[in-house]
A and B are shown apart, each in its own frame.
Chain A
C-alpha cells in the first residue's frame, strides 16, 4: 500500500509482505539544529512536522525461547489518531553487502482499546517510553529524529525523564518483499548526511544483553 502508483506488485494471496529497511544513528543535543537544517534542505519540501508519541512494548512469552514482541504506539499530539501496532521480524542475514537492516514488518492501525485487547490476548507490557522530535520525508523514505524519555510512573506520560543527551536518528523505508531499490536510495541519502551523523545498520539482536 506504500508503493508508488507506477509499480504494481503481483499479490499472491493475503496482504503484500512488506519489508522495512532501517539505518540508525545519533547526534548530540548541540548538533540537533544543524542536522535539522540539513534535513530540511535535503528532504521533500514540506512544513516541518513535530510529533510526540507514547510507545508500549508488549511481550508474549511462549514455551519457546524467544518471546513474541509487539509494539503499540499512539500519538500524544494528535489524540484522535488511531493507535499503531507493529510487528518487526528478525533481521535478514542473507546479504552482507546490503547496507541497511532488513526485516519483515507488519503495520496495523488499531482503535483506542488496543492495550486492553493485548492484555486480554495474553501479552504483558514490558516497558514503555515517550518519544518526541521531528519527522521528515523524502520520497518513500522516512527520517525520524527523536528524543526518548523514560516514563517514571507507569501510565503517566507527563512525568518523564530523558534517557540520554542525544537524539536518535532513524532512516527507514518500506518496500514490498523483493524490491531492493529503496536500499540504494537510503545508502546515498545516508552518504549525504555523512559528516553530521553516521547512519549505519545496527543489529538489535547483538544489542540484547
Chain B
C-alpha cells in the first residue's frame, strides 16, 4: 500500500461444488452454485428487520453454525424475517438499512406535505452574485502567486546555473592566461612592476650597449565576448611593444656600379619581405621576435653610421637618411641601408620595378648580424671581469697598461682597431674580387678551346680570402700534360697567382710535345723554353722542341710562341727528297738515310681536334710499321 508496487491479489473461493449426481460413466454433475442475487436473497431472508439494534445482547449466546443455519432456514419459508442471534455480523447492515428506510419515509412524508402547499412551501435560496465571482478571482490570485513562486525558484536555479557556467569559462580563460604567461616566461625575460607585467626584449643582458630600453608590456586580452564563439587564433595574452620597434626591418647590402646621380641617395625602396610564420607559434612570439630583429637592425645601423662618421678613410663614406654609401673600389659603390617598414601604410615611393633579388647580398647581411652578436659576446667575456674584484670593468690587458707603462703604439695594438664598417667593406671587396675573378676565368675558358682551362674553387674559404686552382690541360691527355697548374689566392684587394713551375701558357704546347714524345718513344733532340731566334714576342718568349723518330729517319720541330702561334716542321730522310743533290764526295748509299731538308706542315689543315692529338697523329704517321 505504501511504497511498493501494487500487487494484484486474486481471491478465489475454494468452492467445492456439491455433487448432485454421479453418472454411470463417471461424470459428476454438480449442484449449480447460487448466483449472487440468489445468494443475497437467501441471506436477506434471514435478516429480521423487526428486531432493533437494542436486542443485540441476546445475540451473544451461541455462534451461528451451518447446521443450525440450515435448520433454521426451513423455518423462514413463511417470509417473515425474525431476528436471529446468528445473524449478528449482518446487524450493522440491517441497522443502516433501517435508518435509511426511516429517512426515506420522512423525506417521502415531507415531500408529500410540501406538494400540497398548504402547510409547507419551498422557497428558493437567493444566490449572492459576488459570492460566485470572488472564488474565481481568489483562485486566479492564488494561482498567480503559486506560479510566481515556482517561476522564482526556476529563475534562481537558472541564475545559479548561468553563474557557474560563466565562472567556469572565466576560470578556463584565467587558466589559459596563466599557462600562456608561463609559456611566455619560458622564452622571454619578464618582471612584475606594481601591477603591470613588463618584459625585456633588448640584447642588453646578452652584452649589447645600445641605449634602447626594449621594454614591452604584457596585457590580458579581455575584449572577448563570452556569447560569441572564440576565434581560432584567440590568445588571452597580448604584448604591447614600443612604437618605434613595430613592423619588420632588415639591412640591405648591395654593390652597384657607381651611380652618377648623387641626388638619388636616400630613396631606398622599402619593399616588405613577408615573414614566414611557423604554424603553432603564438602571435606574441612573432611580434616579439620581429621587434627584437628591428632593434638589432637599428643597433647595427647606428654602429655603422657612427663609425662611418668617425673613422677617417681616403674616400669618405656618405651617410644619408637610412643609407650608408662607400666606395670599396673606384667605380664601385657599396650601399648599406636599413629597411624598416611598419606594415600599416603602404610605401608609395617604392621603386617601379621590384628590386633585383641578387642585388641584395644576403651573405653580408648575415655577416653583419653575426658580427654584432660577436661584439655583444665580447662584452660578456670573462676577460672583462676584474681581478681584484674592486677594480672597474675593462679588458684584462688594458689594466696592465698602467703598471707596465705601455706607450701609445702598444695601447693601440691592444685595442680593437677595426670597426664593423671596415670589416664589412673588406668583406664586400673580397666578394667583388672573387666574382670578378670567376667571371674572367669562365670567359677565358669559354673563349679558348685548345688547351682547356679548368677551375677548381676550394670549398673552405675565409671571409677575406678564397682560393682557386686553375688547370690548363689538353683534352684526352690530362695525365701527361699537367705541367701548368695555377693557384690563385684572392684576398681583399689583390690576387696572388702562384704557378707550379712559373711558366707562360704558350709553353704548354711545347711541353705537351715533349711529354708525348716520351710516350710515343720519340727522342727529344732539343728543347728550349726561351728561344732567341725568330720574331720577338711581346709577352714572354717562344719555346721550341725538336723530337726525332725512333728509327731516326724523321724529326719534328715545333716552335710555339704566344703571339706568333705554332710552327711545325718535319725533317725527312734524304732518300725521300725529290731531288737528290749529286755529290762526288758522298758515295755510300747509307748516307741517304740521314735526315735532310725539312718541310713545313700546314698545321691548320691537320686532322685532329687539338694540338696534341694532331701531334700524335703526325708522329704515328711518321713512324713506319715494322
Contacts and interface: CB of A to CB of B under 8 A. Distances in A.
Contacts of B391: 73, 84, 107, 109
A83 B389 CA distance: 11
A192 B205 contact: no
B392 A2 contact: yes
A75 interface: yes
A45 B385 contact: no
Interface string A1-12: 110111100000
Interface residues of A, number: 44
A196 to B, nearest CB: 15
A79 to B, nearest CB: 10
A109 B210 contact: no
Nearest to A138: B205
Nearest to A188: B193
Contact of B396 (A53, A81, A131): A81
A71 B390 CA distance: 10
Interface string A72-93: 0111011001111010000000
Contacts of B394: 1-2
Nearest to A110: B403
Interface string B203-222: 01111011100000000000
A151 interface: no
A137 interface: yes
Contacts of B393: 2, 137, 140, 142
A6 B209 CA distance: 8
Interface in A73-121: 73-75, 77-78, 81-84, 86, 107-112
Contacts of A73: 388-391
B387 A75 contact: yes
B402 A109 contact: yes
Given A6-B209, A192-B191, A81 B390 contact: no
Interface string A137-155: 1111010101000000000
A3 B366 CA distance: 29
Q: Helix, strand, loop or mixed for chain B's interface?
A: loop
A44 to B, nearest CB: 5
Contacts of B404: 111
A5 B209 contact: yes
A50 B393 CA distance: 15
A18 B71 CA distance: 146
A158 interface: no
Given A49-B385, A142-B393, A192-B191, A109 B209 contact: no
Contacts of B385: 46, 49, 135, 137
Contacts of A126: none
A82 B390 contact: no
B103 to A, nearest CB: 100
| Chain A contact surface mostly | strand
B400 A53 contact: no
A123 interface: no
Given A82-B399, A111-B403, A46 B388 contact: no
B205 A135 contact: no
Contacts of A111: 403-404
B402 A110 contact: yes
A109 B386 CA distance: 11
Contact of A53 (B388, B401, B402): B388
A203 interface: no
B210 A75 contact: no
Given A51-B387, A192-B191, A109 B403 contact: yes
A47 interface: yes
B296 to A, nearest CB: 15
Contacts of A49: 382, 385
A45 B204 CA distance: 10
B309 to A, nearest CB: 13
Task: Give the one of B389, B391, B393, B396 with max A CB within 10 A.
Answer: B389
Nearest to B191: A192
B497 to A, nearest CB: 42
Nearest to B391: A84
B408 to A, nearest CB: 16
Contacts of B388: 51, 53, 55, 73-75, 81, 83-84
Interface in B376-418: 380-382, 384-394, 396, 399-404
A77 B209 contact: no
A53 B211 CA distance: 33
A55 to B, nearest CB: 7
Contact of A6 (B211, B380, B382): B211
B389 A131 contact: yes
Contacts of B209: 4-6
Contacts of B204: 139
B570 to A, nearest CB: 78
B189 to A, nearest CB: 9
Contacts of A186: none
A23 interface: no
A81 B399 contact: yes
Contacts of A133: 389
A1 B391 CA distance: 12
Interface string B348-387: 0000000000000000000000000000000011101111
B389 A53 contact: yes
A109 B402 CA distance: 6
Nearest to A105: B392
A174 interface: yes
Contacts of A71: 390
Contacts of B191: 192
Given A6-B211, A44-B380, A192-B191, A82 B389 contact: no
A187 to B, nearest CB: 12
A144 B390 CA distance: 9
A83 B381 CA distance: 21
B387 A77 contact: yes
A135 B389 contact: yes
A45 B206 contact: yes
Interface string A118-134: 00000000000001010
A173 to B, nearest CB: 10
A49 B386 CA distance: 10
B399 A6 contact: no
A144 B389 contact: yes
A45 B205 contact: yes
B387 A78 contact: yes
A53 B403 contact: no
B399 A109 contact: yes
Contacts of A46: 380-382, 385
Nearest to A47: B382
A107 B387 contact: no
Interface string A157-198: 000000000000000001000000000000000001000000
Given A6-B211, A49-B382, A107 B403 contact: no
A188 to B, nearest CB: 8
Interface of B: 191, 204-207, 209-211, 380-382, 384-394, 396, 399-404
Interface of A: 1-2, 4-7, 43-47, 49, 51, 53, 55, 71, 73-75, 77-78, 81-84, 86, 107-112, 131, 133, 135, 137-140, 142, 144, 146, 174, 192
Given A81-B388, A84-B391, A137-B393, 8 more contacts: A2-B393, A47-B382, A73-B389, A108-B402, A109-B399, A139-B204, A146-B389, A174-B392
15 contacts: A4-B209, A4-B211, A45-B205, A45-B206, A49-B382, A51-B388, A73-B391, A81-B396, A86-B390, A107-B391, A109-B399, A109-B401, A110-B402, A110-B403, A137-B384
